[in-house]
């Protein structure tokens, strides 16, 4: 998930968001099989498959016999063989199907029976209800409409992001700890946590990716909290398929699920009037979780003179734009900023990459910009990338300098030894100068002393 790319003095943490499939592939087979016991999970996993794989699954969904592999291979034309192989590996990696020998001795494919049954249930009906519907509780006197749910969700999510940016906001101890564990913030003893470079990158992602990244972090810590991963994941998927504006009952939810619900309440994924309420409302954030659909309208216009016009009032959004651009003017409904070399390179020094800045601008692009292809002016995107590359012209590596060799032979002996050890960084034969890594320095020094003792 996090890749540390050491480049000498600079340690850049690259934020990588896994998607659902990558996450599931890492789970153990037993957990996966238990997960597929719920129709919501099967539907969520099915929706994320590449379209060819979806077709394969649909074709085999109502078959009870294994299908010969040769027959499946005939479903694609010869020149799409690569797609077919990719599908086969995706389906096998997620344990959605496996090979089984047919009666004639041929190899065949058959769908994972648990997955098959539960996907069929999701389509046809039958089986257990996903959750107790709220209808048993009667209509809600304090019903919330969709607008207020949306507002609530955005408010709670922005509080978390504002906490990361450093504005004072009330965030629970649990949440702060989760942010620290996720590597998005660092906390020194006794002080308030402050944001890391991974945190900066996180801020510029779109809401759906942020949510997903956050949820994955939470799931990682779930087991250490004593929660059942399968239970939580199933509930999460179920939530992502629920209808906006509808209330659901907490009947039949276990203790750990209720705790999870409280955490979701804090992230803004569900709304519950009170902690003890018997019903909850999923918000748009929960529904976008598995879908990745952009919920907010864009508000940024980028012009070819490097000006950014952000039509927003939100302090958070303005702070985010200010991360990589220079603020010029602020009006009641719009903020004008300029992309300059200094501002972009400052952002890059903080750990943000050019790709992330471009992604941020693209995902928040105003509908007016969306009519153009490409959405952002190519001059701007190219220039941002060039500014990033400017910083990469020099690469720093630590080392120890060896110079003032008395003879060429001495130099060559030591150089060959260092090369043999793999710690030679640089050499200049004409001037008899070489640089060795700090780790290799002690070894090379010892070798040199041995050689000197030998020769003298």
Q: Which is nearer to other proteins, 290 or 436 (CB)?
A: 290
Q: Which is nearer to other proteins, 137 or 319 (CB)?
A: 137
Binding residues for other proteins (CB under 8 A):
19-20, 39-40, 43, 46-48, 51, 54, 58, 118, 121-130, 133, 135, 139, 145-146, 208-209, 212, 241-247, 290-294, 367, 370-371
Q: Which is nearer to other proteins, 126 or 422 (CB)?
A: 126
Nearest distance in Å: CB 373, other proteins: 9
CA 257 to chain centre: 24
Nearest distance in Å: CB 135, other proteins: 6
Partner residues linked to 101 by β-bridges: 107
Nearest distance in Å: CB 47, other proteins: 6
Nearest distance in Å: CB 167, other proteins: 28
State whether the Cα torsion 178-183-185-188 is positive or negative.
positive
Q: Which is nearer to other proteins, 14 or 55 (CB)?
A: 55
Nearest distance in Å: CB 281, other proteins: 10
Closest CA to 113 of 46, 36, 43, 45: 36
Nearest distance in Å: CB 251, other proteins: 13
Q: Which is nearer to other proteins, 233 or 339 (CB)?
A: 233
Nearest distance in Å: CB 40, other proteins: 8
Q: Which is nearer to other proteins, 173 or 371 (CB)?
A: 371
Q: Which is nearer to other proteins, 129 or 394 (CB)?
A: 129
């Amino acid at each position: 998930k996090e890749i540390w790319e050491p480049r000498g003095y600079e340690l850049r943490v690259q934020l990588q968001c896994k998607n659902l499939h990558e996450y599931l592939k890492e789970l153990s087979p037993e957990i996966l099989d238990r997960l597929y016991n719920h129709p919501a999970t099967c539907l969520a996993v099915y929706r994320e498959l590449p379209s060819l794989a979806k077709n394969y699954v649909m074709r085999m969904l109502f078959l009870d016999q294994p299908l010969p592999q040769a027959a499946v291979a005939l479903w694609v034309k010869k020149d799409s063989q690569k797609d077919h192989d990719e599908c086969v590996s995706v389906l096998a990696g997620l344990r959605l199907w496996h090979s089984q020998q047919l009666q004639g001795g041929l190899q065949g494919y058959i769908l994972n029976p648990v997955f098959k049954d539960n996907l069929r249930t999701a389509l046809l009906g039958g089986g257990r209800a996903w959750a107790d519907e709220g209808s048993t509780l009667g209509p809600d006197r304090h019903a919330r409409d969709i607008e207020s749910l949306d507002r609530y969700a955005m408010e709670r999510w922005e509080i978390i992001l504002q906490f990361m940016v450093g504005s004072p906001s009330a965030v629970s101890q649990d949440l702060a700890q989760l942010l620290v564990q996720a590597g998005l913030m660092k906390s020194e003893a006794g002080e308030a946590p402050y944001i890391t470079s991974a945190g900066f990158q996180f801020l510029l992602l779109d809401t759906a990716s942020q949510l997903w990244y956050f949820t994955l972090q939470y799931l990682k810590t779930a087991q250490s909290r004593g929660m059942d991963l399968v239970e939580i994941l199933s509930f999460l998927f179920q939530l992502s398929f629920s209808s906006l504006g509808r209330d659901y009952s907490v009947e039949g939810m276990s203790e750990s699920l209720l705790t999870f619900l409280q955490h979701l309440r804090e992230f803004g994924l569900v709304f519950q009037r009170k902690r003890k309420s018997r019903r909850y409302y999923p918000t748009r954030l929960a529904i976008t979780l598995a879908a990745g659909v952009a919920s907010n309208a864009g508000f940024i216009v980028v012009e070819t003179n490097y000006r950014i016009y952000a039509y927003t009032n939100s302090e958070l959004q303005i702070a985010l734009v200010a991360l990589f651009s220079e603020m010029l003017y602020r009006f009641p409904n719009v903020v004008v900023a300029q992309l300059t070399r200094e501002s972009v390179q400052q952002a890059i020094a903080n750990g943000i990459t050019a790709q992330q800045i471009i992604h941020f601008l693209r995902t928040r692009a105003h509908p007016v910009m969306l009519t153009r292809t490409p959405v952002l002016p190519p001059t701007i995107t190219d220039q941002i990338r060039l500014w990033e590359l400017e910083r990469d012209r020099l690469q720093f590596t630590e080392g120890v300098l060896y110079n003032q060799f008395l003879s060429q032979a001495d130099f060559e002996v030591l150089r060959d030894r260092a090369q043999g050890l793999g710690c030679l960084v640089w050499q200049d034969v004409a001037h008899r100068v070489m640089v060795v890594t700090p780790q290799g320095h002690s070894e090379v020094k010892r070798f040199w002393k041995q050689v000197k003792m030998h020769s003298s």
